[in-house]
């Protein structure tokens, strides 16, 4: 049943920003969560609705919070064109199977298993724009995390199945340049090349980053210009930064957002989304100890380690809430055409999540 449910979820393609596709998928989740006894709320946004589902539990106990998302990096059509659903030799492949339709199915199945058991209340947040930094969901996650006992993410685990005990901070920055168009041969001196300005600014960004040992910087997209015989009047770039600690993040972003143009162009630097660094803490260590014991109760050996990738658990960890991530199935290839999971890990993760809910 769990594999059939996963195939259904992977078959419903949900790229970030496709509100119609995301809302149709949210309809499915809302119906199933409600059938399991949850009170479900939808939080509308222009790019797709978020879901908050509250499952009842012991009166007076603080709830467990589970964080998930239903958007993927893949466009509609990826399933038919380049990444068909495949199940062979114990491996399942398909767009979003690892990040993170598999995690959604694990959580849903675990909730089914503990429906008649005594446990803490459970709150589930399913975000529609996690893959671009959750710009519309940050306030929601922060608000709904208030007063919870602990937070858990259904993102993929480390390759060996270990959970994630901290994460680097992640920030998306957009640099936009407005220059002045002119004929590139007849009147080039009256133009101001937005592309040349953008190149110089990206070099400046590299110079800023080079001053720090543990900063990742990826220029993910560049756009600008249109014709080789026209001095380009506009250009932009989106940059992804990763930071190991808040002080480095603050220093780098301050320097980047204060960049100044080097020619007669207009420059805009905007932070598009931000997830602060979630650093190791005694509270998370204590939570991991409890989860290790929960895993032992179902015959599993659980480990934990820091991670460089970011997710919505950055927010709960940053807030000081005991947090663990990586409860999705074991696999590889997130955001890659070879995305896949180990089929047997689905039921293993279900057992672990159910044990966490029933024992904490």
173 and 161 together in one domain: no
181 and 313 together in one domain: no
Alpha-carbon distance of 241 to 188, in angstroms, equals 35
41 and 162 together in one domain: yes
Collapsing DSSP to helix, strand or coil, 156 comes out as coil
For helices 2-11 and 102-113, the axis angle rounded to 10 degrees is: 140
For helices 246-257 and 194-209, the axis angle rounded to 10 degrees is: 150
Q: What is the pLDDT of residue 222?
A: 98
Last residue of a domain, one of 210, 240, 275: 275
DSSP 97: I
Q: What is the CATH number of the domain that holds 31?
A: 3.40.630.10
Q: What is the pLDDT of residue 322?
A: 98
Alpha-carbon distance of 16 to 257, in angstroms, equals 26
Report in angstroms the alpha-carbon separations of 299 from 123, 145, 184: 26, 30, 70
- Low-confidence stretches of the chain (pLDDT < 50) are none
314 and 259 together in one domain: no
pTM of the model: 0.90
164 and 285 together in one domain: yes
303 and 330 together in one domain: yes
Report in angstroms the alpha-carbon separations of 238 from 70, 114, 204, 207: 23, 44, 15, 17
How many folded domains does the chain comprise?
2
96 and 160 together in one domain: yes
162 and 173 together in one domain: no
Residue 265's Cα: distance from chain center in Å? 35
Alpha-carbon distance of 94 to 80, in angstroms, equals 10
Task: Tell me the torsion sign for CA atoms 42, 45, 49, 50.
Answer: negative
CA dihedral (228, 234, 238, 241) in degrees, to 10, reads: 110
Task: Tell me the torsion sign for CA atoms 15, 39, 320, 326.
Answer: negative
Last residue of a domain, one of 219, 251, 275: 275
Q: What is the pLDDT of residue 309?
A: 86
Please choose, from the candidates 236, 244, 301, the residue with its C-alpha nearest in 3D space to the C-alpha of residue 272. 236
110 and 189 together in one domain: no
| DSSP character string of 74-91 | SPTTHHHHT---EEETTE
User: What are the backbone dihedrals phi and psi of residue 261, each rounded to the nearest 5 degrees, phi first?
Assistant: -65, 150
Inter-residue long-range contacts of 186-189, CB under 8 Å, 24+ positions, other chains counted: 188/231
- 263 φ/ψ sector (left φ>0, alpha ψ -120 to 50, else beta): beta
Task: For residue 5, give both structure tokens.
Answer: 């449910």
Last residue of a domain, one of 256, 275, 294: 275
**Domain boundaries, position 221:** 169-275
Q: What is the pLDDT of residue 1?
A: 87
Longest dimension (CA), the chain: 79
Q: What is the CATH number of the domain that holds 263?
A: 3.30.70.360
Q: How many residues are there in the chain? A: 360
């Amino acid at each position: 049943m769990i594999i059939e449910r996963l195939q259904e979820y992977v078959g419903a393609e949900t790229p970030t920003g496709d509100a119609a596709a995301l809302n149709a998928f949210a309809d499915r989740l809302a119906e199933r969560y409600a059938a399991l006894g949850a009170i479900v709320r939808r939080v509308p946004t222009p790019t797709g609705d978020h879901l908050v589902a509250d499952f009842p539990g012991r009166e007076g106990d603080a709830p467990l919070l589970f964080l998930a998302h239903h958007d993927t990096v893949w466009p509609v059509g990826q399933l038919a064109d380049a990444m068909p659903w495949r199940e062979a030799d114990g491996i399942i492949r398909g767009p979003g199977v690892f990040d993170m339709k598999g995690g959604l199915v694990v959580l849903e199945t675990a909730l089914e298993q503990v429906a008649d058991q005594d446990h803490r209340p459970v709150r589930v947040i399913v975000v529609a724009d996690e893959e671009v930094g959750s710009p519309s969901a940050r306030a929601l996650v922060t608000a709904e995390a208030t007063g919870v006992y602990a937070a858990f993410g259904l993102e993929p685990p480390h390759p060996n199945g270990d959970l994630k005990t901290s994460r680097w901070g992640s920030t998306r920055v957009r640099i936009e340049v407005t220059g002045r168009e002119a004929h590139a041969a007849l009147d080039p001196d009256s133009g101001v090349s937005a592309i040349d300005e953008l190149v110089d600014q990206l070099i400046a960004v590299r110079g800023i980053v080079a001053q720090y040992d543990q900063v990742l910087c990826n220029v993910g997209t560049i756009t600008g210009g249109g014709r080789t015989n026209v001095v380009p009047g506009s250009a932009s770039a989106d940059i992804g930064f990763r930071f190991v600690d808040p002080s480095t993040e603050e220093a780098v972003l301050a320097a980047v957002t204060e960049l100044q143009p080097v020619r007669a162009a207009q420059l805009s630097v905007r932070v598009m989304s931000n997830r602060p660094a979630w650093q190791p803490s005694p509270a998370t260590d204590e939570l991991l100890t409890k989860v290790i014991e929960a895993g032992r109760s179902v015959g599993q050996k659980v480990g934990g380690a820091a991670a460089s990738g970011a997710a919505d658990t950055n927010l709960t960890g940053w807030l000081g809430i005991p947090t663990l991530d990586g409860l999705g199935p074991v696999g590889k290839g997130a955001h890659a055409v070879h995305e896949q999971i180990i089929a047997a890990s689905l039921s293993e993760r279900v057992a672990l999540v159910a044990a966490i809910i029933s024992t904490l």
